[in-house]
Amino acid sequence: MLVLTGAGEEAFCAGADLKAIETLDPDAPGGPLGFTRMGSPKPTIAAISGWCLAGGLELALWCDLRIATESAAFGCAERRWGVPLIDGGTQRLPRVIGTGRALDLVLTGRTVDAGEALAIGLVNEVVAPGRHVERALAVAERIAGFPQATMLSDRRALLEGEGRSLEDGLALEARLGRAQIGDALTGARRFVERSRNS
């Protein structure tokens, strides 16, 4: 598990330093941050407080889950300055919130608060100020408590199935699921045993 957060409560990440924009390399193999064009091998959670704008929003979208405080604010603020989205925003945002809502944020550059972000599916949960890291770590601990091979296999089927036809996605799910039958049998036996003892 990986939990990403900003330093302090004021911002998760407000994007690139526009005074040093010439240092950004849109052609960097891993993306401008060095890793955001690669998939994470494990589940990732963004713990967000304060500003989550531009490249910061793209970083949050790289994560599987996003937990935000009530003070969080999200948007494609780079729109105002003519800076393009170059770190996955145009590809991940519509996958998370749908094309129409993504176009609204990308084209207008408007900022949405945590309540709207929750309503449109941009964040998974909103928590009280200062509770974002604690809550993200609790979710990470819960996920880490599950049988990992099966959980990672299901995550892979979901992520790699995006953009495929339903038929191809179902075949991928079945292929990956077959590899987990041993763990499934072990888990089913544990369930049956626990049911007998309760």
* 79-to-63, 88, 108, 146 alpha-carbon distances in Å: 22, 15, 7, 41
Active-site annotation holds for 78: yes
Distance CA 62, CA 36 (A): 6
Q: Which two tokens stand for residue 58?
A: 């793209």
Q: With contact defined as beta carbons under 8 Å apart, do 27 and 83 qualify?
A: no
Active-site annotation holds for 173: no
Give rounded-to-5 percent helix, strand, coil for the chain: 50, 15, 35
Active-site annotation holds for 58: yes
Q: Computed from CA positions of residues 59, 61, 65, 67, in that sequence, does the dihedral angle turn out positive or negative? A: positive
**pLDDT score, position 17:** 62
| Catalytic one of 31, 55, 75, 88 | 55
Distance CA 73, CA 129 (A): 13
* 177-to-145, 147, 167 alpha-carbon distances in Å: 19, 13, 15
How crowded is residue 83: how many other Cβ atoms within 10 Å of its Cβ? Answer: 17
Residue 1 DSSP class: -
**pLDDT score, position 173:** 95
Contacts of 30 (CB under 8 A, 6+ apart): 36, 37, 38
Is 10 exposed, middle or buried (CB count within 10 Å of its CB: 0-12, 13-18, 19+)? exposed
| pLDDT (tens digit per residue) in 80-107 | 888 888 888 999 999 999 999 999 999 9
| pLDDT (tens digit per residue) in 128-152 | 999 999 999 999 999 999 999 999 9
| Catalytic one of 11, 31, 46, 58 | 58
The list of the chain residues with pLDDT below 70 reads: 16-25, 33
Tell me the one-letter amino acid at 168.
D
| Structural domains of the chain, with CATH | 2-144 (3.90.226.10), 148-197 (no CATH)
| Catalytic one of 73, 78, 89, 136 | 78
Q: Which residue has the tokens 């996605």?
A: 169
For 31, the 3-state DSSP assignment is coil
**Of 36, 32, 34, 35, residue with least CA distance to 24:** 32
**pLDDT score, position 8:** 82
Rg (CA), the chain: 19
| Catalytic one of 11, 14, 16, 68 | 16
**pLDDT score, position 21:** 65
**pLDDT score, position 20:** 65
Active-site annotation holds for 134: no
